[in-house]
Amino acid sequence: MLRIKNLSAGYGRLKVLRNISLHVNQGEIVTLIGANGAGKTTLLSTVCGLLRATNGEIYLQGRDISRQRPERIVASGCSLVPEGRQVFAAMSVRDNLLLGAFVRYRAAKNKRRSMDLKPVYQLFPVLKEREAQMAGTLSGGEQQMLAMGRALMAQPALIMMDEPSTGLAPMIVKNIFSIIRQLKDKGNTVLLIEQNARAALRIADRGYVMENGKIIVQGPAADLLANQDVQRAYLGQNVDNK
């Protein structure tokens, strides 16, 4: 589904990603964990075309998207749920969702947009209840659901999520992770960045640990959960006192 080879990127003279290589297979949940500043968000920004790579290659479903514009990457099947939700606060829930499908509708010239809302409303019933409400008046958890629904409106082959649990109450976080598992059950492929590393690894198939712009550990999620170095650094567990 997604294959990244020797990817480097940064901001001006600041080099953030350093020869990153990773892959995400069809139907997997793969999580990236690491401390703040490790380069996780920069990686997603580079994949979706918001930041231009300085070196390396990015393949989505076998096609090189390394130099494509963001709208072309969305049209190719990759959507991003950004950190902090970033909904359009002064627009209705329904209009936020329809914007998520803009690239697809522009290409297809399809005006029957309301029909495509049904799968999102089935996954997030609260959005159907709030469809006429301004997005800025939603709770944090509802805004996160809206951001996820907006990304799904593009019918992506790969959906990338950046810190979906940030700032949410524990019960809402549990619900968000349950929905991510449902996305996999429906055949979606997910690349997940999450500070709650333990929760992310529990739902993921595989994981990568990033540090200073590099991949330092990778493997099946169960193996990373059991890795003592990962436990000490990222899971908040002192293995010496178990």
Average pLDDT, the chain: 88
Instruction: Please tell me the predicted confidence (pLDDT) of residue 242.
Output: 38
158 DSSP 8-state letter: E
pLDDT tier at 241, thresholds 50, 70, 90: very low
pLDDT at 239 over 60: no
- Helices assigned H by DSSP within the chain: 40-47, 70-76, 93-100, 102-108, 117-123, 125-129, 140-152, 170-185, 197-203, 221-226, 228-234
- pTM for the model: 0.88
Strand partners, 234: none
For CA atoms 35, 36, 39, 40, give the dihedral sign: positive
SS3 136: helix
Q: Please report how many Cα atoms fall inside a 13 Å half-sphere around the Cα of residue 176, on the Cβ side.
A: 30
pLDDT at 17 over 90: yes
pLDDT at 167 over 50: yes
Instruction: Please tell me the predicted confidence (pLDDT) of residue 240.
Output: 39
Mean pLDDT over 148-161 rounds to: 92
For domain 2-86+156-241, the CATH superfamily is P-loop containing nucleotide triphosphate hydrolases (3.40.50.300)
Model confidence pLDDT, tens digit, residues 84-127: 888 999 999 999 999 888 877 666 655 554 457 888 999 999 99
Mean pLDDT over 28-49 rounds to: 93
